[in-house]
Structures are given as structure tokens and as C-alpha cells.
Structure 1
Amino acid sequence: MILAIVAAASALAVQGFQDGWTWTLYEDGGTLVLAHEIPDTEHLRATLECEAGSGAATVRVYGFGDAAEFSQLRAGQATAQSQSDADADGSLGVGLRIDHPVFAAFSASGRLDVASAGRAGAVTLDRANLAKLRRFGELCAG
């Protein structure tokens, strides 16, 4: 009986860690960040960053690895090629205009596919968080 309780508690602890991922919109002065994170930790899967009113954002995918000078973005039927950079932490940053059809399709579907240097990844938001993505787009739009 005690072993069953310990096993159940352990399973809930692991599930709680996995379920701790959330999307959070941070507004710090003119800088906006929409982060897929475990709050109050250094765990990040993706961020979207912009200066309010700039009309452009940087999509950063963590744990991506190497990148080419340019990356491809796809959401729905829309595609774009944009300059990219890989950081020493293994994250890939790709520029994206807020008025581009890829951002519009991403805001509608909640999925953005990213490919660079033979690697691929995706940024996904569930329906419950699409309003945060749309708000991010509104605040970033130029």
C-alpha cells in the first residue's frame, strides 16, 4: 500500500514538472517577451521578443543547435526565409515581421515550423494561449 502511494506521488511529481510549461507575456517598458517556460526557472523552449511598435520580432527556439545564416519559417501555407543566428546556448534566433503572412498564419493556427542547417523544430501554442500571441502581435506591430 505504501509503495503504491509513493509510486503515485512520484508519477504526479513528474507529471507536474512536465505540466509546468506555460506561455507568459512579459511587458517591461518597451520590450515585450512571450516565453514558453517553466516559471521561476531557467527552463525555456521558445521566446518571441520585440520592441513595442517596431513591427518585427525575433523568434528564438532553445535547444535547436547549429544554424545557417538564413532559416525557413512556415505556418499554414505561408513561408518565409529570414536571417538567423545561433547562440552559444544552442538557441536559434530568427527575425520575423509582424505584418508577414507567416505571423498571421502562426497567430491563427498556433504552430510555427522552423528549419535551418538541416535541422527542424516547431513553436506551438494551444488554443488557450493564442490570445497571448495575438496580443504580442498587436503590441509589436509598427
Structure 2
Amino acid sequence: MTMLLAALAGLALQGAEPHWTWSLYQGEGPVVLANDVPDTARLRATLECEPGSGVTRIASYGAAAEPGMATLRSGAASAATEAEAGRNGKLTAVLRTDHPVFAAFVQTGRMAVAVGGNERVVEVQTAHLAKLRRFAELCGG
């Protein structure tokens, strides 16, 4: 009986874990690719652009963020840009969609954003790379 209760408690805890995914939102206004828990305000990262603009805003959410010069890296490519800090640990950087860093990100699904001594990683899992490619197509200028 104790084993059955323990197993049921374990299953209940598994069901309570949030289901993080990558969601592509498009329609009126900006195109957004969000690493979120659907139907909640929980975010890990967002990519946002105006369709056809050729520019994307990359935001990651976490611990307190400091503004400053950021280094973005994906694969062998890197770029320097300014990062802005927002509320609730939001860190935002802007990158052109035709930049080699963005192209490598679309291929690998992994981009590191470093400001000062802190680094955050935006990672799109293999199962969601098609959404990232679609986002790049919609945003390209």
C-alpha cells in the first residue's frame, strides 16, 4: 500500500511540472517566438520582430540583469551589441536577421548572450527548430 501511495504521489508531482515549449505567435503586429508555458505568463526567452524588418529583439528572462555591452555567440560567429535590462530579470539585445550569429542560431538552435561576467543561453530544441526557421523567414528583410 505504501508503495502504491508513493507511486501515485510521484505521478502527481510529474503532472504538476510546467510544460515548457516554443510557441510561434503571428498575426496582427509583431511575430513572436516564445519559450513559454502556454496559457501562462511564464517565459524563459522570446524572439520578436516586425514582419520583413530584418531585425529581431532577443530577450531572456532569469535572475537580475545588468545593461551593457553584450556579446552574442552561436557556433563560431559572434557579435557585439548593447543589451537593455528590464523588469523581472529581462535582458534584451537586438540583432539583424542577416548577421552570421543569427544564421548560426537558426542552424544550431543555441545562442549565448554574455554581459559582463554573466552569460545566458537561449536554446531551441531540435523538435522546435522548424519554428525558429519559420520565424527567421517571416522576419527577414
- 1:79 partner amino acid: S
**In 2: Cα distance, 1:75 partner to 1:133 partner:** 14
Q: Which residue of 2 aligns with 1:44?
A: 43
Q: How does 1:83-122 map to 2 (within 5 A)?
A: 83-122=82-121
**In 2: Cα distance, 1:15 partner to 1:96 partner:** 37
Q: Gaps spanning 5+ residues in structure 2: where?
A: none
What does the per-residue CA deviation read over 1:28-79, in whole Å, with 9 as the maximum and x for residues that have no partner?
Answer: 3131000001111111000000110110001000014222322110000000
SS of structure 1 residue aligned to 2:89: coil
* TM, length-normalised to structure 1: 0.91
**In 2: Cα distance, 1:6 partner to 1:103 partner:** 49
- Pairwise CA RMSD: 1.5
Q: Which moved more, 1:11-20 or 1:64-73?
A: 11-20
**In 1: Cα distance, 2:100 partner to 2:16 partner:** 35
- 2:66 partner amino acid: A
Work out the number of aligned pairs and report it: 141
Gap change, CA 1:7 and 1:134, over 3 Å in 2:
same
Q: Which residue of 1 aligns with 2:66?
A: 67
Structure 1 residue ranges (4+ consecutive) displaced by more than 6 angstroms after TM superposition: none
- 2:111 partner amino acid: L
Query: Do 1:74 and 1:113's aligned partners in 2 also have CA atoms closer than 8 Å?
Result: yes
**In 2: Cα distance, 1:127 partner to 1:104 partner:** 16
* TM, length-normalised to structure 2: 0.92
